[in-house]
Amino acid sequence: MTASISENLLGWYGRHARHLPWRNPPGAPLPDDPAWPYRVWLSEVMLQQTTVAAVKPYFAKFLAIWPTVEALAAASDDDVMAAWAGLGYYSRARNLLKCARAVAERGGFPSTEAELRALPGLGDYTAAAIAAIAFGQRAVVVDANVERVVARLFAITEPLPGARKAIRAAAATITPEHRAGDFAQAMMDLGSHVCTSKMPRCLLCPLAESCEGRKQGEPERLPVKPPKKQVPERRGTAFWITRAKGTQVWLVTRPPEGMLGGMRALPDDGWSAREDGAGKVPLAGDWRRLGAVRHGFTHAHLTLEVRALETLSRPRGEGQWWPVDKIGEAGLATLFAKAARLALAAD
């Protein structure tokens, strides 16, 4: 059974594989290009909790600016964080730089799963994916799509996250010795386009005859997920501080750790996922209320009020005056880009 599963899936992948800028064609030998592992790694980091459509332009931009891991390793933190702005989950960008510098220092990417896992920011999934896709190593690659396919294929009914050990063990039984990279990407494509969360397209699935979940009649109920936790509501304030007749705005860089760490931003009142803002203002003055923006994070929903002040004084703390007409080049995180658009519309 396990051999026929991998054979059927690889045959299907040869006919239906998505053409993506970071992929090798199905069945093709690994590219004879020293930058190939870099491209695989970059795409895998960007694709964590992010759609393919969102990643494509960022992947192209990063390769255009930093075509090798050595070039990325030599980049400034500010430039990389600005280029990442809008892609979300900003700890990935910080780990991207740490990993690039570690790889450059050691002279290139290691090829084994264990060595890859030792690099900064690489967890089990990413290390396995790079080992399989970039180096052709047999590695068991399990992301959310693969998790869903395997839970249905083997009818694993234990709820998540407890089921993950059984899912990984089952995935190991069907991962082939050869073409493990193609197999991993085939499983991802199957989960993305056929074995979907809702209304799986079982009639189009190359594994339908082997699928225990389908035989039981309710594949869409697998994997069993725990009840969703209620996401707390938080409130905070961002400050649009300008000078020189509104032509310059005061920007800060957020602390390296924590939410939106290392990103350029508008100053705020210290809100976080755990608590509301403290209401403190960075400068005394006659503040104007411009309205509010909403933004959803993994651990909280935030309502951010925006207040504005034209001043001749320098705000407290570290920061820089930025040309308002070039605010789009500042690399603001999506939340603060929303606040900036509100302020500009109000003016």
DSSP letter string, 176-199? -SS-HHHHHHHHHHHHHHTS-SSS
**Burial bucket for residue 102 (CB in 10 Å: 0-12, 13-18, 19+):** middle
54 and 33 share one domain: yes
Of 221, 254, 271, the residue that ends a domain is 221
pLDDT single digits (tens) 243-259? 989 899 999 998 877 78
> Mean pLDDT per 10-residue run, the chain (347 residues)?
84 95 94 95 94 95 97 94 88 93 96 95 95 96 96 96 96 94 96 95 96 94 90 94 93 85 90 88 90 91 95 89 92 92 89
Cα(125)–Cα(143) distance, integer angstroms = 7
120 and 160 share one domain: yes
88 and 10 share one domain: yes
Is residue 227 a part of any domain in this protein?
no
Of 195, 221, 247, the residue that ends a domain is 221
Is residue 226 a part of any domain in this protein?
no
Residues 6+ apart with CB under 8 A from 71: 65
Query: What distance lies between CA 86 and its chain's CA centroid?
Result: 11
Q: Is 44 annotated as catalytic?
A: yes
According to DSSP, residue 126 is labeled H
Of 171, 186, 221, the residue that ends a domain is 221
Number of domains observed in the structure of the chain: 2
Domain span at residue 68 reads 2-221
Q: Please confirm whether the linkage preceding 223 is cis (ω < 30° from 0).
A: yes
Q: How many CB atoms are closer than 10 A to CB 312?
A: 6
**Burial bucket for residue 309 (CB in 10 Å: 0-12, 13-18, 19+):** buried
28 and 139 share one domain: yes
Residue among 7, 44, 70, 305 flagged as catalytic: 44
278 and 306 share one domain: yes
Q: Which amino acid is at 80?
A: V
